[in-house]
Amino acid sequence: MPSKEIENYRYPIIETIAPHARIVYDPVKNLSAWIDLSETEKDFSTTVTLLNELNESQSFYVDIFCFTESGRRKIYKSPAKDAEYFIASKSDRRYELLKVMELGNGFLKLGKPRFKPDSLEMEGVDPIGWVRIRDDQGQLIFWIKYVDMC
């Protein structure tokens, strides 16, 4: 009998009415659907993490470049659209692994993890700034990704 094994799929949940969750399955086209978590859990292990529960201790990272053709993203000094900002580029490896540190005013505060050189264990997160959660059209501008550090 074939195994039903799917690993590391991440879908933003934008609404819940137990036992259902409305997931975004195509953030570029802003397409979503309701799924029954109790049905899904019969065949798959599921974990629900709401946006306001994201924090630096979780095992995943944030990709801020996945929905930009330019490969560039504004990183603000504070959680406001009129705040000072700098441009981060996907080609700059410093922005590959980013952790959510805080949420506020439609923004995510992101930081770069700092690892112990001998064990690759994370010893802290250094803040880099804030990115918007949604663009002017209301679409998500980030995605959750899992990185196996082994």
pLDDT in tens, 28-73: 777 889 999 898 888 877 777 767 677 666 777 889 998 888 899 9
**In this structure, are 66 and 89 located in the same domain?**
yes
* Residues 25, 32 contacting (CB under 8 angstroms): yes
Give the mean pLDDT of 18-35: 85
Residue 1 binned pLDDT confidence (cut-offs 50, 70, 90): very low
Say if residue 7's pLDDT is above 70. Answer: no
Question: In this predicted model, which residue has the larger pLDDT, 82 or 143?
Answer: 82
Whole-number pLDDT of residue 149: 46
Number of domains, the chain: 2
Whole-number pLDDT of residue 78: 97
* Residues 19, 37 contacting (CB under 8 angstroms): yes
Rounded distance, CA 84 to CA 93, Å?
22
Whole-number pLDDT of residue 111: 94
**In this structure, are 62 and 135 located in the same domain?**
yes
40: containing domain: 1-48
**In this structure, are 115 and 67 located in the same domain?**
yes
**In this structure, are 105 and 31 located in the same domain?**
no
